[in-house]
A and B are shown apart, each in its own frame.
Chain A
Amino acid sequence: MADTTIVNEDKVQVAVLEERTSARVLNWVSQNGIFIFTAVLILFGVFFVDGFASLVNITNVFDRIAPIGIVAVGMTFVVISGNYLDLSVVAQVATAGVILIGVSNAYGLPVAFIAALAAAFLFAIVNGTAVGVFKANAVIVTLSTTFIGLGLLRFFSGGSIFFGPPDGPIRAFGLGKIGPVPYSAIVLIIMTILLSILLNRTNFGFLVKSFGVNEQATRLGGSNTALVIIGAFLVTAIAAMIGGFVLAAFSNTAVSNDGVGYEFEALAAIIVGGTSVFGGRGSIYRTFLGVIFVSVLTNILVLFGISFGYQQVALGVLIVLAVSVDALGRRASKK
């Protein structure tokens, strides 16, 4: 090959385009900002908010973080694949709760686990086929499967509230703690580690990212893109089922409108964590931090006595800010 080397050394200098400074700053903020934001927010809470650092409050925050966090780390897969989000996690969380309490009351815990897994597959196959095979818009598809899922759930559950037995494995899990850390938070940490390995260390995770960057190139690289998308929805659905279990176990009750608002809070955590809604770029660990950030922020607002309405406003503003930074960074990179 050496004899065909025609490009001389001074040309090598221009062979690589460096990113523009503005793009670099915005991308850095979008990808690393979450570490600083979370640290600052926690420090602010510790020093300026009464009751923030108390054991009761920390336990409260942990209890809140776990179910949303588990949903968020799972849904990160769909976001990275470039399909925006899976709204149907709302229906999946509710389904999981009703299955965990209702089905295990009637048929026992193993049947409930199997039923929940089957439900996860069903959601994933419907969402994934419509989006991955028929190329339908993920927002519309998952909005519709939310309706289908919740409708069926209300039909089968009769809209009633299910109560778990006052003692037994579900109750024990729901109340269990190691020090101030509830079991549910440990489940979140394990899920974060496992899904991070799945995303960063396996061919499946690689294809999810690659699809998010360039669908055509991924297909022409010889991969089954439909399976990749169904897989991304399956990871999300299984995580949502586990999140629903954790939520139901905590209160030992389940009703068909558990999980309302989870899609939004999970999305907020993912985006604040710097996962791009344009797909191809994201991290499970940063989603984990994003969940902490969103939960701590909500907690501080509660401690300040700010009403629920304003908490919603704050969450909405946060998402708009985060997606704007994401979009600006992307546009600056393109120029």
Chain B
Amino acid sequence: MGSGGAPPLIEADHITKRFGGALAVDDVSLTVATGEIHAVVGENGAGKSTLMRVLAGILDPDEGEVRVDGQVLARGTRNAIDAGIALVHQELSLVPEMTVAENILLGAFPTKFGFTEYKELKQVAADALEEIGVSVDLDERVTRLSVALRQFVEIARAVARKPRVLILDEPTATLTPAETDYLLAMLERLAAGGMAIAYISHRIPEVFRICNNVTILRDGKQVLTAPIADVTPEQVVDQMVGRELKRDLASHRDAHPGEVVLRAEGITAPGVNGVDLEVRAGEIVGLGGLVGAGRSELVRAIIGADNRTAGQVTLIRNGKPAVISSYQSAVRNGVAYVPEERRTDGLALTMTVTDNIRLPNRKQLSKAGFMLGAKIKEFAQQLADKVGLRPPEIQREAGQYSGGNQQKIVVAKWLGRRPDFIVLDEPTRGVDVGAKAEIHRLVKDMADQGTAVLVVSSDLPELLELSDVIHVMRDGRITGTLPYGEANEKSVMSLASGEAEVSA
């Protein structure tokens, strides 16, 4: 598989893509030749998926162009498909109620006089599955398949279009090690058959196993493109992280953890495999890991927002333990939850700030079920001022505020309950710098006042700044625990990506 000799099949030439004002991809160029597997790596939000979607014609670049066989690719998905480019999405895009065969040919059903030619359809689907070496019943509905099989059907769907360029966006995120092995071997086979493959991954060991070249993105910029033989796993992680490894020690607070407030034992749920966790009063525990590692699933299972299949959660208030069986009982016992999706789970956007704050605090703001109007207003105003809502007009609808201010409203509504234990999932995603600093201040203040805090964050500097101890998750398990002194971007990333396993 010569990566040096063959002429490039697909070329990205100085691609720049902006979303609003933000630069998602900043002047990136790469080429993939026939028979080459090219890894594109980087942290969450580095611009990998955006770049791949530009290659596949789903997004138009603001600057630069994509060339196939030296010809400039015209804009639009249709042209990209016609040029032989196929993208396997990160999120599965199958129709669960349709059969395997129908899904493989979705949007390209063979027809005669407008009627579907089922015989031909099944033949093409069978060929595609055979090409990737997977056997599935063509008539099985996708809803009955395992996540791994769905991923393979997704790949078969791309392969059925006989592409020359195959782009895969984190195809192994949901696979077990054995399934991953199978998929990697398949990709090597497809490349050997003459396909050009661009492969996005977080997982460093995979990259070193099958790829010829690697491109590292950081904050939308291309920091390195090199033959895989010229770099070490450690160098790749260094380049992905890139930032100053020494932390600003001043920004970390002096923690004085007290008694254990939350004890979770053997938590098992979809995506979570038997996790034990403790959080102490006045302590901020961070959960690090890659997207899909099971962090949100873990916290939701702990507080009962989603069902768990096994495990026990105990909340200890004033020395008295209470077993948490449901989300409602968790909230009653002093748990607060700032969810990952603030617009769908955190706020009622068309209700006022006051009403949003009132929701979890309604019992203390009422008498015999009747609301105390003046008290609610005063209560909401105090909290809005405390979190620094701007403008502090609590009769406005929550949806009228910017992302950062919306997140402050979510924090405010839970602050009102003076929680013993608070979970914050991606507390500052999509939030401006100013609001981010204010939210960090609020989280630290809560811990200083004795609240036990559990933070999930994909933003490494944030995780490092806030956490007194960091548990790193991978494949639904905690793979390592780093106390404040040992945690840095490199040690976290190395546990999160599995790089530690290659080096060992």
B65 to chain A, nearest CB (A): 32
Q: How many residues of A contact B (CB 8 A)?
A: 35
A207 to B358, CA, bound (A): 10
B441 touches A15 (CB 8 A): no
A1-33: which residues lie under 8 A (CB-CB) from chain B? 1, 4-7, 11-12, 14-19
A202 touches B350 (CB 8 A): no
Stretch at the interface among B173-181, B186-194, B240-248, B338-346: B338-346
A1 touches B351 (CB 8 A): no
Interface centre among A7, A18, A218, A223 (most CB of B within 10 A): A7
With A16-B396, A18-B400, A219-B327 known as contacts, the answer to whether A210 contacts B363 (CB < 8 A) is: no
Could you give, for residues 265-279 of chain B, a 1 whenever the CB lies within 8 Å of some chain A CB and a 0 otherwise? 000000000000000
Could you give, for residues 273-285 of chain A, a 1 whenever the CB lies within 8 Å of some chain B CB and a 0 otherwise? 0000000110000
Contact of A217 among B348, B358, B390, B432 (CB under 8 A): B348
Interface residues on B, range: 35 or more
A16 touches B437 (CB 8 A): no
Minimal Cβ-Cβ distance residue in A for B335: A222
Contact of A1 among B327, B332, B438 (CB under 8 A): B438
Interface centre among B344, B359, B360, B391 (most CB of A within 10 A): B359
Stretch at the interface among B51-59, B75-83, B364-372: B364-372
A35 to B272, CA, bound (A): 56
B331 within 8 Å of A (CB atoms) = yes
B344 touches A15 (CB 8 A): no
A209 to B391, CA, bound (A): 25
B400 touches A220 (CB 8 A): no
B437 touches A6 (CB 8 A): yes
Minimal Cβ-Cβ distance residue in B for A1: B388
B423-464: which residues lie under 8 A (CB-CB) from chain A? 432-435, 437-438, 441
B370 touches A201 (CB 8 A): yes
A12 contact set on B, CB distance < 8 A: 390-391
A189 to B288, CA, bound (A): 59
With A16-B401, A210-B355 known as contacts, the answer to whether A201 contacts B348 (CB < 8 A) is: no
A307 within 8 Å of B (CB atoms) = no
Contact of A15 among B350, B363, B386, B401 (CB under 8 A): B401
B345 contact set on A, CB distance < 8 A: 216-217, 220
B141 to chain A, nearest CB (A): 21
B373 contact set on A, CB distance < 8 A: 201
A210 contact set on B, CB distance < 8 A: 348, 351, 355, 359
Could you give, for residues 216-231 of chain A, a 1 whenever the CB lies within 8 Å of some chain B CB and a 0 otherwise? 1111111110000000
B432 contact set on A, CB distance < 8 A: 7
A281 contact set on B, CB distance < 8 A: 350
A204 within 8 Å of B (CB atoms) = yes
A141 to B86, CA, bound (A): 44
B363 contact set on A, CB distance < 8 A: 203
A213-265: which residues lie under 8 A (CB-CB) from chain B? 213-214, 216-224
Minimal Cβ-Cβ distance residue in B for A3: B441
A14 contact set on B, CB distance < 8 A: 402
A222 touches B441 (CB 8 A): no
Contact of B369 among A6, A7, A202, A222 (CB under 8 A): A202
A5 to B388, CA, bound (A): 8
A7 to B401, CA, bound (A): 14
A222 touches B344 (CB 8 A): no
A102 to B151, CA, bound (A): 64
With A214-B347, A220-B327, A220-B346 known as contacts, the answer to whether A15 contacts B337 (CB < 8 A) is: no
A6 touches B438 (CB 8 A): yes
A1 touches B347 (CB 8 A): no
B390 touches A214 (CB 8 A): no
The number of inter-chain residue pairs (CB within 8 angstroms) is 111
B305 within 8 Å of A (CB atoms) = yes
B360 touches A222 (CB 8 A): yes
B263-306: which residues lie under 8 A (CB-CB) from chain A? 305
B328 contact set on A, CB distance < 8 A: 222-224
B405 within 8 Å of A (CB atoms) = yes
B327 touches A217 (CB 8 A): no
B362 within 8 Å of A (CB atoms) = yes
A15 to B435, CA, bound (A): 11
Minimal Cβ-Cβ distance residue in B for A203: B362
A264-309: which residues lie under 8 A (CB-CB) from chain B? 280-281
B349 within 8 Å of A (CB atoms) = yes
B344 touches A214 (CB 8 A): yes
A204 to B393, CA, bound (A): 25
A220 to B280, CA, bound (A): 23
B433 touches A6 (CB 8 A): yes
B372 to chain A, nearest CB (A): 10
A259 to chain B, nearest CB (A): 31
A231 to chain B, nearest CB (A): 11
Minimal Cβ-Cβ distance residue in A for B414: A221
Would you give 6 A-B contacts (Cβ < 8 Å), ordered by A?
A: A5-B388, A17-B401, A19-B400, A204-B369, A223-B362, A280-B350
Q: Which 10 A-B residue pairs are closest in the complex by CB-CB distance?
A: A222-B331, A6-B434, A221-B359, A7-B434, A213-B348, A214-B348, A221-B360, A203-B362, A216-B345, A4-B441
B interface residues with partner A (beta carbon < 8 Å): 305, 327-328, 331-332, 337, 339, 344-351, 355-356, 358-360, 362-363, 366, 369-371, 373, 386, 388, 390-391, 393, 396, 399-402, 405, 413, 432-435, 437-438, 441
- Other than the given A4-B388, A223-B362, 19 more pairs (CB < 8 A) read A1-B386, A6-B434, A11-B434, A12-B390, A14-B402, A15-B390, A16-B400, A17-B400, A203-B362, A203-B369, A209-B355, A210-B355, A213-B348, A216-B344, A219-B327, A220-B327, A222-B328, A223-B359, A280-B351
